[in-house]
């Protein structure tokens, strides 16, 4: 498979992962699928999990990955040669070189999304909580100092009273965000290597490029 075709197979899953990241981040703003908490948090009340406000899924795993995905897709869509009258090898190599830079941007976005998602899982959600040591319910982050141990102790999840099932909600979405970021990171790193090969060797074999040029020449003559 030539490096240009490889870019296409990298771009498509990047679109999917970016969409998943954006959707997860937006959903995290509405714990329990309720808009009340977002509205109260906007008024100064601590109602949303802090890591949600970093918008890592929207900015990092979303926009910063979507930009290189579009460029990588366009690079693969252009095929082996840019124009009949241009040096196809130089043109293709330039495109692949640029794709390395865009892929590096995707790596930054994926790492940011991964870091915030991991932090969100470790610290747990913001909720109205109480337990045997804190009998008076209050808003806060009860698992902040647990080091993520609450994830394996589901009995502690009942500490959060409001929003309902907020621990399951946060764990599910942050876990999905974490997995999406890992996939994005792997794909962007692969594209950086693929782009390097594309710079050195071109986007595909010389014979295929020759046939493409010949076909374009025939169309021009007609």
Tokens of 12: 């498509």
Rounded distance, CA 130 to CA 7, Å?
51
pLDDT on residue 208: 45
Please state the rounded mean pLDDT for residues 194-217: 55
Max Cα-Cα span within the chain:
85
**Residue 88, Cβ density class (10 Å: 0-12 exposed, 13-18 middle, ≥19 buried):** buried
Mean pLDDT of the chain: 82
For residues 207 and 164, the model is more confident at 164
| pLDDT range class, residue 193, cuts 50, 70, 90 | confident
Give mean pLDDT, residues 61-73. Answer: 91
DSSP type of residue 85: T
**Per-residue pLDDT, 88:** 47
Summarised one tens digit per residue, pLDDT across range 85-129 is: 444 444 556 776 787 888 999 999 999 999 999 999 999 999 999
- pLDDT category at 82 given cuts 50, 70, 90 is very low
Distance between CA atoms of residues 180 and 21, nearest Å: 7
Residues sharing a CB contact under 8 Å with residue 140, sequence separation 6 or more, in sequence order: 46, 126, 127, 129
Q: What is the pLDDT of residue 203?
A: 52
Distance CA(55)–CA(24), nearest Å, equals 10
Q: Which residue has the tokens 């595909």?
A: 204
Q: Is 155 exposed, middle or buried (0-12, 13-18, 19+ CB in 10 A)?
A: exposed
Asked if residues 173 and 27 have their Cβ atoms less than 8 Å apart, the reply is yes
- DSSP summary character for residue 162: E
- Report the candidate in 191, 184, 222 with the shortest Cα–Cα distance to residue 73: 191
What is residue 86's predicted lDDT score, i.e. its pLDDT? 45
pLDDT of 220 over the 70 cut: no
Answer whether residue 202 shows pLDDT above 50: yes
pLDDT at residue 65 above 70? yes
Is the pLDDT assigned to residue 43 strictly greater than 70? yes
For 21-27, what is the mean pLDDT?
A: 96
């Amino acid at each position: 498979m030539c490096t240009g075709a490889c870019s296409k197979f990298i771009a498509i899953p990047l679109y999917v992962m970016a969409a998943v990241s954006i959707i997860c981040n937006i959903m995290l703003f509405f714990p329990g699928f309720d808009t009340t908490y977002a509205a109260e948090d906007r008024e100064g009340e601590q109602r949303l999990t802090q890591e949600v406000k970093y918008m890592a899924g929207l900015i990092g795993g979303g926009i910063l990955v979507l930009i290189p995905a579009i460029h990588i897709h366009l690079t693969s869509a252009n095929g082996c040669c840019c124009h009949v009258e241009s040096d196809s090898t130089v043109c293709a190599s330039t495109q692949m070189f640029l794709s390395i830079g865009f892929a590096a941007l995707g790596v930054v976005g994926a790492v940011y999304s991964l870091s915030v998602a991991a932090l969100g899982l470790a610290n747990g959600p913001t909720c109205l909580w109480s337990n045997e040591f804190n009998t008076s319910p209050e808003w806060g982050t009860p698992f902040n100092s647990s080091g993520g141990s609450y994830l394996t102790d589901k009995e502690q999840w009942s500490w959060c009273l409001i929003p309902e099932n907020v621990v399951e909600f946060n764990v599910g979405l942050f876990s999905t965000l974490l997995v999406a970021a890992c996939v994005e990171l792997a794909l962007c790193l692969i594209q950086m290597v693929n782009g390097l090969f594309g710079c050195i060797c071109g986007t595909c074999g010389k014979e295929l490029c020759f046939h493409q040029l010949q076909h374009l020449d025939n169309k021009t003559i007609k």
